[in-house]
Structures are given as structure tokens and as C-alpha cells.
Amino acid sequence: MDRTKFAFDKTNFILLGIGMAVIIIGFLLMTGPGSTETTFEPDIFSVRRIKVAPFVCFVGFIFMIYGILRKPKSISENIEE
């Protein structure tokens, strides 16, 4: 297959993989025990779950957007360099 017909190159896929891993880490940081009708769990308001995890997910989404929008170098550009 001709490599110039692909929309993504190896770097795009690496960026998409990094972004997906960071998003999964962010969602894992959001997990924890929840409150029930009988007990209140104050951990639902922790800094990790309210501020850190959404920021980590946001960074992951930025990686994903950059990985999609990044224009891969064509083969002719690589030969000239």
C-alpha cells in the first residue's frame, strides 16, 4: 500500500495512544467509594476527584485532538531532509 494515502503516520498513532492512556488514568483517579443513603463519604469532595482527575482527563483529550489534527510528513519531505 502507498503510505501517502494514510491519514495518520506512526507519530499520530503514538499520540493517540498516549492520549487514551492519560484519559483512562484520569477516569481511574475519579473512582472511589460513593455515599449511600445511610452513610456519607466525604472522600467524594477530595482534591484528587474534583480537581486533579478532570485536569488529567483534559490533558488526555488535548493529546487526542493534537494527535488527530497533526499533519503527517509526506515521504517526499522526508527524502529532502
- In this prediction the pTM is 0.79
Instruction: Please report how many Cα atoms fall inside a 13 Å half-sphere around the Cα of residue 76, on the Cβ side.
Output: 1
**CA proximity to 14, closest of 64, 74, 73:** 64
Q: What is the mean pLDDT of residues 4-32?
A: 90
Residue 1's pLDDT band (cuts 50, 70, 90): low
Report the length, in residues, of the chain.
Answer: 81
Q: What is the C-alpha to C-alpha distance for residues 32 and 50, in angstroms, rounded to an integer?
A: 12
- Given a contact cutoff of 8 angstroms between Cβ atoms, the answer to whether 62 and 38 are in contact is no
Give the model confidence (pLDDT) of 51-77 as tens digits. 999 999 999 999 999 999 998 876 555
**pLDDT per residue as tens digits for the range 20-54:** 999 999 999 999 888 888 888 888 889 999 999 99
Residues 6+ apart with CB under 8 A from 51: none
Q: Is the pLDDT of residue 18 over 80?
A: yes
